Amino acid sequence: MGAGANALPSECECLSTNFFYLPGTIVGAFVADWLGPKRTIILGLVLQSIVGFILSGVYEKLKQHIAGFAIMYGLYLSLGELGPGNNLGLLAAKATGTFRFVGRTVCIGI
């Protein structure tokens, strides 16, 4: 980027891409409460892989329609947040014991 270049379009693209994470995060919180974190991770990853395969299968057509690619990629990102994005930390917190146990484990690890 040169000295006189405008960084605003690049920042707007990054901001609009990050907005695709929000629906997956919001829906993922409710789905995790309903199904549990392990099943939500599995559901999110399976749906994300299906959308990923569809995205790669129709890539030649989507190169001509950038809006369609953006929507499909946004759905792909949302499904990534629905599954592992929301629930990896939750599943790890449920798998460990109390804080006392975690503290002891950290001290042993150091």
Q: What is the pLDDT of residues 63-78, one digit of tens each?
A: 898 888 888 999 999 9
Number of domains composing the chain = 1
Has residue 76 been placed in a domain?
Answer: yes
Q: Please tell me the predicted confidence (pLDDT) of residue 90.
A: 79
Question: Residue 81 is part of which domain span?
Answer: 12-109
Helix (H, G, I), strand (E, B) or coil at 5: coil
CA distances 18 to 4, 70, 73, 101, Å, are 26, 12, 11, 36
Instruction: State the pTM of this model.
Output: 0.75
Has residue 70 been placed in a domain?
Answer: yes
- Pull the structure tokens for residue 32: 């995790």
Has residue 44 been placed in a domain?
Answer: yes
- Residues of the chain under the 50 pLDDT cut: none
Has residue 6 been placed in a domain?
Answer: no
Q: Please tell me the predicted confidence (pLDDT) of residue 43.
A: 94
Has residue 7 been placed in a domain?
Answer: no
Has residue 5 been placed in a domain?
Answer: no
Has residue 2 been placed in a domain?
Answer: no
